[in-house]
Structure 1
């Protein structure tokens, strides 16, 4: 997805997900909704990062945030899965590799 500077304040850009990234995130979300794990999501495009947050209930804090931080692309990797309390659960350079945290059999939400 191309950035249109007319949507941001002058001199400021916003980070957002590209179409293929967003499609992959929504596929994961759909799978987790079907499994009864997640029920709501939010997407934020900010000046330094984009976040895809998932919730068990809309009234709660997010269970997980999947963040894209281009400034960290050459260092730790642009992608991260952040758990409740701000704990970094996985970080990497590739979205697919980072989302393997949620693969079947390896992941289960526990109340």
Structure 2
């Protein structure tokens, strides 16, 4: 499936949240590839552009920050928006300092802004 809006990689270990967000984002025109763990994403993804990664902060295998570190080491420049079911301000600030673009407080608005910015490049 090809869309004009771009691609979203959704990484979250919570099945209900992942399915729900995936459906919602697909309904508004994004290609969505979802993964239940950071390891699964690293093993099975091929990031295309324009794209954005929606990344859960707390996962059992690697945290969102650990995955961000892995992606940076591999030279990835794909924008990241952190998701968090639990509020951990210190982790969110740390992620933003490392280059994440946003947290999930206004998720759909954030995704739209990032994708619009990428489309203008």
TM more than 0.5:
no
The normalised TM-score by structure 2 is 0.39
Higher normalized strand content (fraction of residues): 1
Which structure: larger Rg? Answer: 1
> Structure with the greater relative contact order (CA < 8 A, sep ≥ 6): 1 or 2?
2
